[in-house]
Amino acid sequence: MEIITYIVEGELTHQDSMGTSETLGSGSVQFMSAGTGVRHSEHNLNHSKPLRFIQMWITPRARGGKPNYGSAHGEKNGRQNTWQHLVTDVKSTSASSPVKLNQDVNLFVTEISDGAGLDFRLNAGRQAYLLCMEGSVQVTGSQVQDVLGQHEAAEIVGANQLKLVPTSEVAHCLMVEMQSV
């Protein structure tokens, strides 16, 4: 299993049987390839501050790989009014990101300010899952026209030129883009 975690708010402390121990803050991403097996725990050690995170489990390209862990600290200015590319396929030669997975998947995050807009091109044969984590955002494209509030999501399939415009002061969004099935 390929496990991706994006920290929305607070600090996540991770420990595992490979000897990894670290604490990641808001905007950071971690990945773990479970491979042939790994034990891990994740905690909020700061009891005075809430922790919110998004965790996704993705089937790897092949089973039985070597367990692996990695992370990247996200910088807020790296996602303000732009797509910050955090995760890509290890086999990708056209995209660069701090986290590489054993599957054809990309993960992007953004924080769009009021008065700004942001485009995303979804190619034919691809699909995306768009999650509004904070705020609200109007999503317009050839196959979708909707306003997503906090914790709402949209599935988008096939060629589409998307435009995202916040309908709140800031819209903090996550996009998972992958091959259509």
Share of the chain above pLDDT 70, in %: 100
pLDDT in tens, 22-38: 999 999 999 998 888 99
Torsion of CA 124, 129, 135, 138, to 10 degrees: 30
Query: Which CATH superfamily does the domain covering 2-179 fall into?
Result: Jelly Rolls (2.60.120.10)
pLDDT in tens, 48-107: 999 999 999 999 988 888 999 999 987 888 899 999 999 988 888 888 888 888 899 999
| Average pLDDT value for the chain | 92
Domain boundaries, the chain: 2-179
Q: Is the pLDDT of residue 166 over 90?
A: yes
Joined tokens for residue 120: 């995303």
Contacts of residue 35, defined as CB under 8 A and 6 or more positions apart, other chains included, come to: 64, 65, 66, 67, 68
Joined tokens for residue 128: 């995306």
Q: Structure pTM? A: 0.91
Joined tokens for residue 54: 């998004």
According to DSSP, the β-strands at 118-122 and 126-134 are: unpaired
